[in-house]
Structure 1
Amino acid sequence: MSYAGDLTPQEAWTKLEQGAILVDVRTEGEWAHIGIPVTESANEKHNDPLFLPWTFAGGIPNPDFIARLTEQAPEDSGTELVFLCRSGQRSIAAATAATQAGFTSYNVLEGFEGEPDRHGERKVNGWKNRGLPTNLGSK
């Protein structure tokens, strides 16, 4: 593994309570139509999530991802970053790249929506289906 580790959504929440920052790497369309994680109640620092797409619509890579992350992430090198995508796959790539850039990075297993059920609906697991705070359908 080329990043600090994988976390369940609840373990990710615990990391946020300890001061980590969530980095949502989904697309703008996903944020607008599916919803976003809310982290303001996770800790006293009120570390707002960072919204930084790993890819753009159509799977086009974001060539400025690390540059934007470096601009937006806190200067404190001890701050851990927790990466979240739809299902926990893009966030692996993002956590790996961030680790290579010097950040302590974790991936959220199951992602925001989780895996699809037998009908193709994403109701099985993931951040929102595990009852963690969300703002559904807007950013």
Structure 2
Amino acid sequence: MVEDVAPSEVWQALAENPDAQLIDVRTNAEWTYVGLPEISALDKRVLLISWQAPSGAVNRDFVEQLGASGLTEAHALYFICRSGARSLAAAQAAREAGYRAAYNVADGFEGPPDSKGHRGNVAGWKASGLDWRQG
């Protein structure tokens, strides 16, 4: 079972554990137009590996791309998407592939929509006040 971890706890884990890695599993369009977690203050960068294509098809090479990026079973992997659904599936796939420390960032980058249907104000990375950048 994959554990949900609050964004602030993910930040702390990234700061304290040199083997902790944040993996953003959204699409290129989301990274470009919505924004990305900014973790350069921790001397780290977000690893970008899409879980799904814009069409919704699952990236069959996802686990292979994790390994090709240099990640090993020794790393603590924190997966993030828009709301926490795709990242949960990605973390489960990583666990099934032998990455024992695979976690889901609770509520993702933007979280659920607010009463007006806008994301980023209720929960998630952005609403937690953590660093992020757009473009």
Give the distance between the partners of 1:115 and 1:59, measured in 2 at CA.
Answer: 20
Q: State the TM-score, normalizing by the size of structure 2.
A: 0.91
1:21 maps to what in 2? 21
Q: Which residue, out of 75, 79, 85, partners 1:79?
A: 75
Query: In the alignment, does 2:27 pair up with 1:31?
Result: no
Aligned to 2:55: 58
Match of residue 90 from structure 2: 94
Give 5+ residue unaligned stretches, structure 1: none
For residues 29 and 70 of structure 2, the distance between their equivalents in structure 1, rounded to whole angstroms, comes to 23
Q: Measure the CA separation in 2 of the matches of 1:80 and 1:60.
A: 26
Give the superposition deviation at 1:47.
2.8
Provide Cα deviations, 1:58-79, integer angstroms capped at 9, x if missing partner. 212111111111101334x321
Please give the per-residue CA displacement for 1:64-96, whole angstroms capped at 9, x wherever unaligned.
Answer: 111111101334x32100000000111110000
Task: Read off the aligned partner of 2:22 and give its amino acid letter.
Answer: L
Deviation of 1:33 after TM superposition, in Å, equals 0.5
**2:103 corresponding residue in structure 1:** 106
Query: Identical aligned pairs, as a percentage?
Result: 42
What is the aligned partner in structure 1 of residue 131 from structure 2? 133
In the TM superposition, what is the alpha-carbon distance from 1:15 to its structure 2 partner? 1.3
- Matched residue count: 131
Scaled by the length of structure 1, the TM-score of the pair is 0.89
Greater Cα shift, 89-98 or 65-74: 65-74
Unaligned 5+ runs, structure 2? none
Query: SS in structure 2 opposite 1:55?
Result: coil
Among candidates 6, 21, 24, match of residue 4 of structure 2:
6
Measured in 2, the distance between the counterparts of 1:90 and 1:41 equals 26
Moved over 3 A (4+): none
